[in-house]
Structure 1
Amino acid sequence: MSKNSPQQTRADMRRGRQFTKKKKGPFRRIIKIILSLFVLAFLFGAGLFTYYASSSPRITRSALSSDNSTKFYDASGKVISRLGSQNRDYVKSNKIPKTLKQAVVSIEDRRFYKHHGVDPIRIIGAAISNVSGSSLGMQGGSTLTQQLVKLSVFSTAASDRTLKRKAQEAWLAIQVENHYSKAQILEFYINKVYMGNGVYGMQTAAEYYYNKTLEKLTLPELAQLAGMPQSPVAYNPYKYPTYATKRRDEVLDAMVKTKAITQAQAQQAKNTSVKSGLTKTHSRTQTSAKTSKYIDAYLKQTIEELRGKGYKPNSGLKVYTNLDLSAQKKLYQVSNNDPSILYPSKRFQVGATIVNVNNGKVVAMQGGRKAKVAFGLNRAVQTGRSTGSTAKPVMDYGPAVQYLKYPTYQPVKDTPYVYPGTDKSVMDFDNKYQGTMTMRKALVESRNIPAIRTLENVGVSKATGFLKNLGMTFKKPLELQNGIGLYVSSQQLAAAYAAFSNGGTYYKPYLINKIVQANGVSRTYHKQGKRAMSPATAFMITNMLKGVMTDANGSGTAAKVSGLYEAGKTGTTQYPDDYINKVPADSSMDSWFSGYTRNYSLAIWTGYDHQFKADSYITPAQTDIAQQIYKSVMGYISQNKPNTDWTKPSDVVATNRGGTTEYYVAGYPGVGTDNTAQAAGSYSVEGSSSSDNTVVTQPRSDNTRRSESSTESSESTPTTQQPGGDGGSNNDRDSSSTTSSSSSQSDTSSSSSSSNTASSSSSNDSGNSNQTDNNGGNNQP
């Protein structure tokens, strides 16, 4: 084998190098592309950060140290409450216990003394935690300095958590670190944070919760305060001790990791009850003394609505509400100190809501009597008590007119009735039967059996849809028994009855009209009404409900305001069979009245929080108290308002029957026997003869087979009284507009209501009725 020549060897080497280059080329190009993209991304990010930072708002020492109070206004633009300004004692750094500083840093920002406002390591850790779902990020990506900037300058609304806002927040945090010491920044933060119940700053919180200064608090108490800013409502030790304990223990564990305390000290602190040392009285309140007793329930619900919109009540907001302070004071006075109303005891309670029927604005709300609502139950929005016969217009007769075209003179039977599939009978207060009667008479006199028979014919499924259109949804299917008792709040009931008043349009009730942020950005919320029923249905139900208050046999004559065009319905609920012998005969657990004019809708619940305790029943005479409250309040708020009657829609036809003007929907003049409706026939108009030979029997509902007389209302979870569950229809839509300054007020929609599980009861209001099954519906404060 011949050796290669030197020339050939060199040529082979060149080819080898070329071959090597060809193999390495693509990899190097990929690396270059990646590096180029990285550099471009970095430059773009840096440029975008610089651009956003250049438009950052100015941050001052005043902004960092101020209380950032939120102001609430009534409908006339007058301040009714300031959260923060009068509820904070500023404490200097040298007066803040070292243990508290360690606790705050341990739980909020462990690298606080190492970073310069922004912590890349913390951001990466939080990102990994978010992706992996691990517990690495008990702390988020924002440093304590960034949190201070957010509280001092920016809105806390969820909708404002944008890239631009984050960039500006980071830039300002770096500026703060350059101008102030770590001790000063920590001082600002400890004095700035919201601590729940209208209290700002940890010094004030120490006085509020423990009636002590910070210097006198114990380790578990300091740990409790350090953990509260993350969620001051959920970690309220009075209301949610379980959540508060968990959060306190997280702070203690964090302090062990940072070696601020030993494991033994942490365990000893954990062994202390979170309720230990809590004071029972509070020297500080969240509103001024002049208005606090009137508006506590309204303000509490406003704050719930504010949180529902993504805001926190600690960011210098201006919140314009729909509160009519004059109406609110009247409702309070009548519910607490009206000498003309014989309240049986201080334990006797009231929950009431007034709604503007034309837009859903909640103008007044009473959450209780002889007690503050701030820490307890807001009875205006509780859903744990049966509404009794106030359910009949919205679940029985309204759907019958809407879907079956029942005329107001539809024959219905008041004869013995047993719930299908059970041995439980429906009874009325007098334990008597009146045979066949008109739908009008049955509603006016609040007879139970005709209502249940009507619901059976309509079908529970269609009735549930009708209720949903009126803002009422439920987690468990409704049953026939709910036709004489729903578990909804006074706020929901007032809004539903408002739809009867305005011709069939449902507006979800709301308290907040406009929000102006500290940076001047203003949001108004426009509520769009939703067609819930035909104008004919609204008019015919209203026409019949007038008789509840004007007819000699009507169940609500005690509520009648002389000369006022109005309509309404009573409701009572009875004790269950296993308790009926423990209370006097004809005693009730709950008494309601819901009435309306062309201007306002007012729904009222009365009763006892603990209805199964001794002397906690309502006598027949006391069932009128709800009506008396309505009469006094509605008469007052109707002054200087238009007093007009409802106008008959063009498709509703009047007919004279037995000297009474009755109504039917044009095109559906016939009626048949009970539980049927005619699609055709010839009924008299203006007193002519009638024929009822042709009938079309409606199909039975699939929901008629029930073995128990029970149901459940929609529920909500304990966080921020949830927070959130209001039983409203998911079809309702809020639309908002944003401007850079205070703009004209307009409508919005939000409500929250708490709800407890409860069973359905049988009810009647001319007198009282037997309840089939009820667990009391307790929703205790």
Structure 2
Amino acid sequence: MAGNNEQNSRVARKRQQPQPPKKHWFRRIVLAIVALVFIVGLAGAGLFFYYAQSAPKITEDSMRSENSTRIYDANKQLITSLGSNNRQYVKSSDIPATLKKAVVSIEDRRFYRHKGVDYYRIIGAALGNLKGSSLGMQGGSTLTMQLIKLSVFSTSTSDRNLKVKAQEAWLALNVEKHFSKSQILEFYINKVYMGNGIYGMGTAAKYYYGKSLSELNLSQLALLAGMPQSPTYYDPTTYPQYAKNRRNLVLKAMYDNNEISKSQETAAMATNVKSGLASTHKSFQKQQKKNKIADAYLKEVIADLQDKGYSPYKDGLKVYTNLNMNAQRRLYNIANTSTYVNYPNDRFQLGVSVVDSYTGKVSAMIGSRKHTDVTYGTNRAVQTDRSNASTMKPILDYGPAIEYHSWPTYKTVADTKYNYPGTDISVNDFDNKTLGNMTMRQALVQSRNIPAVKTLETVGRTKAKQFANSLGMNLKDKTIPYSYAIGANVSSLQVAGAYAAFANGGTYHKPYYINQVTTQDGESTSYSSSGKRVMKKSTAYMITDMLKGVINSATGTATTAKISGVYQAGKTGTDGYPDSFKHKVPSSANMDSWMAGYTKNYSVAVWTGYANAYERDSNGNAIGYLTSADSRIAQVIYREMMTYLQEHSPNSDWTRPSSVAETKKNGVAELYVVGHLFSDAEASSGTNAKSSSSSHSSSSTASSSSESASSSSSHEAESSSESSSSESEASSSESEASSSSSESSSSSSAPAESSSAESAESSSSAPTDNEQNSQDPTR
């Protein structure tokens, strides 16, 4: 008993002693979260003010001015301002109260209560994003912040980041300190893009309804208030259903914001969204016609800006292009007046591209003629739906033959009866004749088709395609058809870019329009076309030398393009009709006619024809074909344009590189790649034996002493980029090329390709539609 009492006493004393405090884990977690939020908030505030310090300046002028993109020519002279010529600024006192209520209701319901940044809206937008909802609003941006974006930033992806958002918020807070809500709303309503090159809701009222804002009803004002979010898709003339849905959303927002009654909302929603729309926009079209001289060029500039991530109608850019405006005016006059060219009718069409030979800059372009009532219409200079005919021969046939097999210009090619490899379809020439053996130079100058196809077969389609695509042809066929030897569907811009590489000695520059873009915050980005060597200097020079004869030789096909005293080279191309339509047009009729040529300064490619080559009149007579006289117009256009260009450019001949030597053959100065002087037997049989010193020496009596002396020594002196560009490919990678010492032999008929894969394709594949059509004469 005593023991129990003692134990109880100890327990009692223990209870009386102070106990350690309980661990309050929940409180610690809460405190940790609070501390973390505080630290994050402090860091966020620090980052915000850090970004704010580098925010661009904003002025009243920048908020009041139009947000148009200005496009300049190569001399930094203004060509056009997208949309700015149409803007009609409306002062706050002339803006209907209903429109102000509509804009505030749909864009920023708390506009009159916040100080530029709506923190409730930001939190709501953040929660909405977590839930996957946009809340029907533009995130956390207030009207003031949207005005800031339109005034000093852009809508491009690069300006959608935390830094820009912080700067927008900072500038919005400052703007609200210096301008009234009425002024801010006025700036916004006059600055937003409304589609079709139109800025400002006052201008949009004139464009879409032919009225001022004060004359519009509730339904029409609600439509305008909702358009800035997506002006293209909310255009009531083009997408009436989308426009209706957006208008109704604005009306609902106005009702929810107690700005209109239920009956007003219902009545406005019942109004046809197309009610009151203007049928024409004559005043705006008149302004747009001012740009018609550079229409095609401007169209491509706008598309290029969009490809680069800009919004040309929203971002307020300064765009400096490569356009030579004087050359563009001359090209426009050549195409649209009778001063330079006698056109058969106004339906006759063209597509012309002018490219700087050494930079790839697109200097001028025209995409059609007699298009005075169309803005940014069809641009035939960049379309790829018509065959470039024989202008393809230097690109796909003879260029690769020199590059990969070192053919001399006196290489014998056979113009004898011949079918496309693996088929029973014959290859024909414009005169339906065969001329027997001739040199490569003669075949190219006279534009014979059979030797061209045979050359492609010898080179091999894989290597030829590789060469052509390195020149921008973009041939996508896994195995190109043999008909491409005498024409494929490419644009005049592609041809001009390819020929520019021949002009400058073998370096390809992808043609480009834009030199520099400056955004509203002053940031500039420069653009250029970095050149890539795609052929040896010897290849470029030998092709150029042969193409001179196309213009200057009595047997050449481009004698009409000759310009006295000008050093130039070029190639014609005409495309005939398929058998199915031949009986409906004269025997000499053509579908397309081309002239592509170049000097050391410019490369010019011209396509001519009719928009619909198969067009007929009301009596069923074909009217879409080119006569023999019409087919020469492409040369006249080229001649007139190149004459103008050369009046303002130096005129100099090409210098023969050390890798090319000259020899006399039948009284003609022929060229060969140093180290590859073909004997007469080799040139005739197609043997591409790489000459040894002894063989070169024994045959050098045909050469001048100075030229024949430059054998392997000159070859060794060639630049590394020249000697390594493609010469090694002739004896390596693909089995189309011959062994290291000789090319696979070719007879005077159809030479077989070395590649087994290509040979199999040649013997088994059926011709494409293009191939079947290509039995018709091209030149």
TM range (shorter): 0.7 to 0.9
Structure 2: how far apart are the matches of 1:130 and 1:476?
A: 45
For the 8 Å contact 1:220–1:248, the answer to whether it is kept is no
**Residue matched to 2:8:** 5
Aligned pair in 2 of structure 1 residues 195, 662: CA closer, same or farther (>3 Å)? Answer: farther
**Residue matched to 1:487:** 489
Aligned pair in 2 of structure 1 residues 419, 90: CA closer, same or farther (>3 Å)? Answer: same
For the 8 Å contact 2:426–2:775, the answer to whether it is kept is no
Identity %: 51
> What letter corresponds to residue 165 of structure 1 in structure 2?
V
For the 8 Å contact 2:612–2:624, the answer to whether it is kept is yes
**Residue matched to 1:248:** 243
> What letter corresponds to residue 363 of structure 1 in structure 2?
S
| Match among 684, 694, 702 for residue 687 of structure 1 | 702
> What letter corresponds to residue 8 of structure 2 in structure 1?
S
Aligned-residue RMSD, C-alpha: 3.8
For the 8 Å contact 1:65–1:188, the answer to whether it is kept is yes
Structure 2: how far apart are the matches of 1:268 and 1:420?
A: 67
Secondary structure, in 3 states, of the residue corresponding to 2:580?
coil
Structure 2: how far apart are the matches of 1:509 and 1:763?
A: 32
CA-CA distance at 1:528 after TM superposition:
1.9
1:112-261 mapped onto 2 (5 Å cutoff): 116-119=115-118, 123=122, 139-180=138-179, 182=181, 184-214=183-213, 229-230=228-229, 241=238, 244-245=239-240, 247-252=242-247, 254-255=249-250, 258=253
Secondary structure, in 3 states, of the residue corresponding to 1:558?
helix
For the 8 Å contact 2:227–2:234, the answer to whether it is kept is yes
Structure 2: how far apart are the matches of 1:342 and 1:710?
A: 35
Aligned pair in 2 of structure 1 residues 550, 613: CA closer, same or farther (>3 Å)? Answer: same
Secondary structure, in 3 states, of the residue corresponding to 1:171?
helix
Structure 1: how far apart are the matches of 2:17 and 2:519?
A: 73
Q: Which has the higher helix share?
A: 2
CA-CA distance at 1:327 after TM superposition:
1.1
Aligned residues: 707
**Residue matched to 1:737:** none
For the 8 Å contact 1:149–1:172, the answer to whether it is kept is yes
1:301 and 2:300 equivalent? yes
**Residue matched to 2:368:** 368
Secondary structure, in 3 states, of the residue corresponding to 1:635?
helix
For the 8 Å contact 1:224–1:247, the answer to whether it is kept is no
Instruction: Map Cα deviations across residues 348-403 of structure 1 (whole Å, 9 max, x no partner).
Output: 12211211111112221112211145241122222222212212212222222222
For the 8 Å contact 1:389–1:763, the answer to whether it is kept is no
**Residue matched to 1:344:** 344
For the 8 Å contact 1:392–1:451, the answer to whether it is kept is yes
- Where relative contact order (Cα < 8 A, 6+ residues apart) is larger, the structure is 1
| Match among 660, 675, 685 for residue 652 of structure 1 | 660
After TM superposition, the structure 1 stretch with the greater mean CA deviation from structure 2, 634-643 or 109-118, is 109-118
**Residue matched to 1:628:** 636
**Residue matched to 2:354:** 354
> What letter corresponds to residue 543 of structure 1 in structure 2?
D
Structure 1: how far apart are the matches of 2:405 and 2:109?
A: 67
Structure 1: how far apart are the matches of 2:393 and 2:687?
A: 18
After TM superposition, the structure 1 stretch with the greater mean CA deviation from structure 2, 1-10 or 172-181, is 1-10
Instruction: Map Cα deviations across residues 217-270 of structure 1 (whole Å, 9 max, x no partner).
Output: 6888767755654565677788xx4xx456425514533653658689657646
Task: Provide structure 1 residue ranges, at least 5 long, that are not aligned to the other structure.
Answer: 712-758, 771-781
After TM superposition, the structure 1 stretch with the greater mean CA deviation from structure 2, 635-644 or 574-583, is 574-583
Instruction: Map Cα deviations across residues 293-328 of structure 1 (whole Å, 9 max, x no partner).
Output: 422222232233333333333444333222222211
Structure 1: how far apart are the matches of 2:417 and 2:105?
A: 70
1:318 and 2:318 equivalent? yes
Structure 2: how far apart are the matches of 1:649 and 1:140?
A: 64
Structure 1: how far apart are the matches of 2:519 and 2:108?
A: 27
Structure 1: how far apart are the matches of 2:671 and 2:455?
A: 18
Structure 1: how far apart are the matches of 2:269 and 2:477?
A: 44
> What letter corresponds to residue 306 of structure 1 in structure 2?
L
1:661 and 2:669 equivalent? yes
**Residue matched to 2:46:** 47
Structure 2: how far apart are the matches of 1:534 and 1:45?
A: 58
Secondary structure, in 3 states, of the residue corresponding to 2:282?
coil
**Residue matched to 2:88:** 89
Secondary structure, in 3 states, of the residue corresponding to 1:5?
helix
Structure 1: how far apart are the matches of 2:376 and 2:476?
A: 27
Task: Provide structure 2 residue ranges, at least 5 long, that are not aligned to the other structure.
Answer: 256-263, 617-622, 709-737, 746-752
For the 8 Å contact 1:349–1:606, the answer to whether it is kept is yes
Aligned pair in 2 of structure 1 residues 426, 230: CA closer, same or farther (>3 Å)? Answer: farther
Aligned pair in 2 of structure 1 residues 451, 222: CA closer, same or farther (>3 Å)? Answer: farther
1:53-68 mapped onto 2 (5 Å cutoff): 53-68=52-67
| Match among 568, 589, 597 for residue 591 of structure 2 | 589
For the 8 Å contact 2:288–2:375, the answer to whether it is kept is no
> What letter corresponds to residue 574 of structure 1 in structure 2?
G
1:736-751 mapped onto 2 (5 Å cutoff): none
> What letter corresponds to residue 163 of structure 2 in structure 1?
K
Structure 2: how far apart are the matches of 1:368 and 1:526?
A: 27
Structure 1: how far apart are the matches of 2:206 and 2:541?
A: 56
**Residue matched to 1:334:** 334
Structure 2: how far apart are the matches of 1:81 and 1:177?
A: 34
Structure 2: how far apart are the matches of 1:311 and 1:60?
A: 23
Rg larger for: 2
For the 8 Å contact 2:594–2:607, the answer to whether it is kept is yes
**Residue matched to 2:625:** 617
1:237-636 mapped onto 2 (5 Å cutoff): 241=238, 244-245=239-240, 247-252=242-247, 254-255=249-250, 258=253, 269=272, 277-279=278-280, 281-284=282-285, 289=290, 292-313=291-312, 314-372=314-372, 374-420=375-421, 422-477=423-478, 478-614=480-616, 615-636=623-644
CA-CA distance at 1:763 after TM superposition:
8.2
CA-CA distance at 1:48 after TM superposition:
1.6
Structure 2: how far apart are the matches of 1:413 and 1:175?
A: 81
> What letter corresponds to residue 541 of structure 1 in structure 2?
I
Aligned pair in 2 of structure 1 residues 197, 535: CA closer, same or farther (>3 Å)? Answer: farther
Aligned pair in 2 of structure 1 residues 492, 232: CA closer, same or farther (>3 Å)? Answer: farther
CA-CA distance at 1:42 after TM superposition:
1.0
Instruction: Map Cα deviations across residues 157-191 of structure 1 (whole Å, 9 max, x no partner).
Output: 44344432221112222333455555543432231
Structure 2: how far apart are the matches of 1:532 and 1:459?
A: 18
For the 8 Å contact 2:585–2:625, the answer to whether it is kept is yes
CA-CA distance at 1:706 after TM superposition:
4.2
Instruction: Map Cα deviations across residues 31-60 of structure 1 (whole Å, 9 max, x no partner).
Output: 544443332121011112123224433433
After TM superposition, the structure 1 stretch with the greater mean CA deviation from structure 2, 407-416 or 255-264, is 255-264
Aligned pair in 2 of structure 1 residues 659, 296: CA closer, same or farther (>3 Å)? Answer: same
**Residue matched to 1:742:** none
Structure 1: how far apart are the matches of 2:353 and 2:601?
A: 14
Structure 2: how far apart are the matches of 1:344 and 1:559?
A: 19
Structure 2: how far apart are the matches of 1:103 and 1:134?
A: 22
Secondary structure, in 3 states, of the residue corresponding to 1:653?
strand
For the 8 Å contact 1:87–1:286, the answer to whether it is kept is yes
**Residue matched to 1:80:** 79
> What letter corresponds to residue 318 of structure 1 in structure 2?
K
CA-CA distance at 1:569 after TM superposition:
1.2
CA-CA distance at 1:202 after TM superposition:
2.8
**Residue matched to 2:723:** none
> What letter corresponds to residue 702 of structure 2 in structure 1?
G
Secondary structure, in 3 states, of the residue corresponding to 1:585?
coil
For the 8 Å contact 1:106–1:251, the answer to whether it is kept is no
1:7-46 mapped onto 2 (5 Å cutoff): 7-8=10-11, 21=23, 32-46=31-45
Aligned pair in 2 of structure 1 residues 8, 253: CA closer, same or farther (>3 Å)? Answer: farther
CA-CA distance at 1:588 after TM superposition:
1.9
Structure 2: how far apart are the matches of 1:473 and 1:338?
A: 36
Structure 2: how far apart are the matches of 1:344 and 1:237?
A: 41
**Residue matched to 1:726:** none
For the 8 Å contact 2:233–2:242, the answer to whether it is kept is no
Structure 1: how far apart are the matches of 2:124 and 2:769?
A: 50
Structure 1: how far apart are the matches of 2:127 and 2:382?
A: 41
> What letter corresponds to residue 339 of structure 1 in structure 2?
T
